């Protein structure tokens, strides 16, 4: 456990650093990857499909690899 949560933390840090609209960007990511990022916490089990989907969404929305 932890890789999915860590990715969400990195994405949140990127959003904050770039001063992007948190709700808009996280909403776009959630729509693309198929799950709500707000529900991911430290105890969320790592799912390879969710991790791959979040990587793809991060690349599409933020043009960055996470």
pLDDT of res. 1: 64
Placement of tokens 């650093």 in the chain: 17
In this predicted model, what pLDDT tens digit does every residue of 44-61 receive, in sequence order?
999 999 999 999 999 999
| C-alpha to C-alpha distance for 47 and 3, rounded to whole angstroms | 9
Per-residue pLDDT tens over the stretch 4-40: 999 999 999 999 999 999 999 999 999 999 999 999 9
Going from N- to C-terminal start, the domains of the chain cover 3-62
């Amino acid at each position: 456990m932890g890789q999915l949560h860590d990715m969400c933390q990195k994405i949140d840090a990127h959003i904050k650093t770039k001063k992007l609209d948190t709700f808009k960007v996280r909403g776009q990511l959630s729509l693309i990857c198929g799950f709500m990022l707000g529900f991911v916490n430290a105890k969320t089990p790592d799912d390879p499909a969710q991790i791959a989907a979040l990587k793809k969404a991060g690349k599409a929305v933020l043009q960055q690899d996470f």
